[in-house]
Structure 1
Amino acid sequence: MPRSYAMVGVGAVGGYYGGMLHRAGQEVHFLLHNDFEHVRTQGLLLETPQFTERYSNLHIYQDVRDMPRCDVVVVALKTTANQLLPHLLPTLVKEGGTVLVLQNGLGSEDEVHRAVPQAHILGGLCFICSGKAGPGHIRQTDYGSVRLGQYRADAQPSGLTPLMKEIAEDFQRAGVNIILEEDLLAARWKKLVWNVPFNGLSVVLNASTDRLLQNPATRKLCRALMDEVVAGADAAGHPIDPAFADKMIADTERMKPYLPSMKTDFDQGRPLEIEHIYGHPLRAAQEHGLTLPRMEMLYQLLSFMQQAPR
């Protein structure tokens, strides 16, 4: 029987993946906030390099209490809104249902587990260049794959589970490339190898990814921050091949010039995902006796910039 999906957070990430699932014929329910009236009257516009389509026959809601319980609840909120999870998730997840967390950084699955302890929890690492081009308008310019793993409360690798494979099939039918990960936490640390340098430095230096790599000084700094993330992952018991940092730099050079999501949030006056991308990893490393000085400095700079008048 086809699974029903609820999208909590319909921005650059949730709007894209929810739109792709809807396009493939999946039952998708969208929880909207500021864009509700626009999407109700104009539909959701999904713009990609392959197609541009507008979807008007959507299941959309402003209030979680009006939504049906779904088989899979996709959390695509910014981590700065995770305090809402205990209010949102218990009314949305079916008994025996699944929560799929499409967020950056460390710690989100633990928060979901506290909100709905009986739910199955998957984590997804999105490798995508996308943004909101306007109300109800999602523009994806590059990439789009998701690395998918299953959460365990004891932080041990889950291996490849039947649930992971079933959810992956839904996304793959929708044209989304899925890579299955045996160790979700290791995959999250690997995503931080990219997120830590490029998100933070784009804000502090007001620079896109291409400029950060074209300048020798900032290229060296990006690599040094990546090396610190690799060291933190190793200390926390999730070793990463140091050559992975070289791959991330090479992949970013091939990417179209891009302003990471933290830079977009900063420019638009929104809260920054500092704790999950920097704070939680720093504390995880410190618990294992390791300090990461460059990452700590970037964390402090971003904390100052978030609180300063913009």
Structure 2
Amino acid sequence: MIERARRYAVLGTGAVGGYYGALLQRSGFEVHFLARSDCEHIARYGLAVRSPMGDFVLPKVHVYSEAGTMPRCEVVLVTLKATHNHLLASMLPSVVAQGGTVVLMQNGLGGEAEIFPWAAGAQILGGLPFICVNKTAPGQIHHIDYGLVTLGAFGPDYAPQGQSPVLLQVAEDLQQAGIAVETAADLMLARWRKLVWNIPYNGLSVLLNARTDQLMENPATAALAEQLMAEVKAGARACGRDFPDAFIEKMLDHTRAMQPYRTSMKIDAEQGRPLEVETIYGHPLRIARRAGAQMPRVEMLYRQLQFVDARIRTVGKVATRA
């Protein structure tokens, strides 16, 4: 095992946090995991990863059910769903070390600005995983395909920050753990590019009860996905962030080539969990509208998902009261 100066915390040991945190620990980093629902299982049996890159088990991990009991760490990976970001107001000040770094590994727009007041002066990075990974059972992670992480530094009003030393340092750590990394000089541009995939496939998979391969095999839904991507590109361009049309073709080709996949939003809907509707749809729509762009197909998707999300939350409240 290689000793490392930087300790890592993973806030949210779901599919993404469990996978990347496990890779970091396997490579020799000291990693501390927050796992609220399956903490006892992980403490007893560890974390198991099934992956086309090679299966492995970590029989012993540092795992906690409460953030307040975790040690302070130099790098904190936030892999909670954006619907739980309000919890970070109490978590981050107790976990991030002085002069540390918080990496927000979530979908959508605006998360870095939301957590900035709670980051205890830490440098904030945005982390954008392009990965197919699911948590199949307590402590069980199934990596299906891909795994690239794009890292960008957050600054006031999302102004491009370039390649900061902290950004490069975290990128090097992830690469040493076997994680493919690319760095982005403009975090906002990187987040718009990620939305090119997230907006069509997350929403359509929920509303049509379909995997990504099923969406791409049907000419009508494949065409709709491409039209939604074009609207996202138009929204980004209105906000001063543009990218070539070839990027849309690249995302379509990647999706055709990937293994059959249930998106994270589809799994959340199936399991009765609140959906990340605002960060993936609502916030980008409002930003684009203020910049003068209309995204009518995306807005229709947003309104439909609001209905689904409200129904899930209502059922959840009834079940809690019962």
TM-score scaled by structure 1? 0.98
Cα distance in 2 for residues equivalent to 1:121 and 1:198: 28
Cα distance in 2 for residues equivalent to 1:189 and 1:88: 28
Cα distance in 2 for residues equivalent to 1:154 and 1:92: 25
Confirm whether residue 38 of structure 1 aligns to residue 19 of structure 2: no
Cα distance in 2 for residues equivalent to 1:153 and 1:112: 13
Confirm whether residue 227 of structure 1 aligns to residue 230 of structure 2: yes
Give 1:117 shift. Answer: 5.3
Segments of 5+ residues of structure 2 without an aligned counterpart are 316-322
Residue 131 of structure 2: aligned partner = 128
| Change in CA separation of 1:11 and 1:289 when aligned onto 2, cut-off 3 Å | same
Q: Is the 8 A contact 2:93 2:120 kept in 1?
A: no
Residue 265 of structure 1: aligned partner = 268
Residue 15 of structure 2: aligned partner = 12
Cα distance in 1 for residues equivalent to 2:244 and 2:199: 17
Confirm whether residue 155 of structure 1 aligns to residue 158 of structure 2: yes
Name the SS of the counterpart of 2:262 in structure 1.
coil
Give 1:94 shift. Answer: 0.9
Alignment of 1:25-64 (within 5 A): 25-64=28-67
Give the residue type in structure 1 aligned to 2:11.
V
Residue 142 of structure 1: aligned partner = 145
Percent identity, aligned pairs only, is 50
Residue 92 of structure 1: aligned partner = 95
Q: Is the 8 A contact 2:200 2:225 kept in 1?
A: yes
Confirm whether residue 249 of structure 1 aligns to residue 225 of structure 2: no
Cα distance in 2 for residues equivalent to 1:69 and 1:243: 43
1:142-201 per-residue CA deviation (whole Å, 9 max, x = no partner) reads: 111101110002311111111111111111111000001110110000000000000000
Residue 305 of structure 2: aligned partner = 302
Confirm whether residue 113 of structure 1 aligns to residue 125 of structure 2: no
Decide which of 96, 102, 105 is 1:102's aligned counterpart. 105
Q: Is the 8 A contact 2:13 2:35 kept in 1?
A: yes
Name the SS of the counterpart of 1:105 in structure 2.
coil
Residue 209 of structure 1: aligned partner = 212
Q: Is the 8 A contact 2:45 2:60 kept in 1?
A: no
- Runs of 4+ in structure 1 off by over 6 angstroms are none
Give 1:3 shift. Answer: 0.6
Give the residue type in structure 1 aligned to 2:255.
T
Q: Is the 8 A contact 2:6 2:75 kept in 1?
A: yes
Residue 319 of structure 2: aligned partner = none
Q: Is the 8 A contact 2:73 2:100 kept in 1?
A: yes
Cα distance in 1 for residues equivalent to 2:288 and 2:134: 31
Give 1:70 shift. Answer: 0.6
1:86-134 per-residue CA deviation (whole Å, 9 max, x = no partner) reads: 0100111111110001000001101121212511001111011100110
Greater shift in the superposed pair: 250-259 or 185-194: 250-259
- How many residue pairs match? The answer is 310
Cα distance in 1 for residues equivalent to 2:26 and 2:207: 38
Higher helix share: 2
Give the residue type in structure 1 aligned to 2:77.
V
Name the SS of the counterpart of 1:51 in structure 2.
coil
TM-score scaled by structure 2? 0.94
| Change in CA separation of 1:238 and 1:260 when aligned onto 2, cut-off 3 Å | same
Give the residue type in structure 2 aligned to 1:53.
F
Cα distance in 2 for residues equivalent to 1:148 and 1:274: 23
1:191-239 per-residue CA deviation (whole Å, 9 max, x = no partner) reads: 0000000000000011111111111111111011000000000011111
Give 1:269 shift. Answer: 0.6
Cα distance in 2 for residues equivalent to 1:250 and 1:66: 45
Give 1:52 shift. Answer: 1.8
Give the residue type in structure 2 aligned to 1:61.
Y
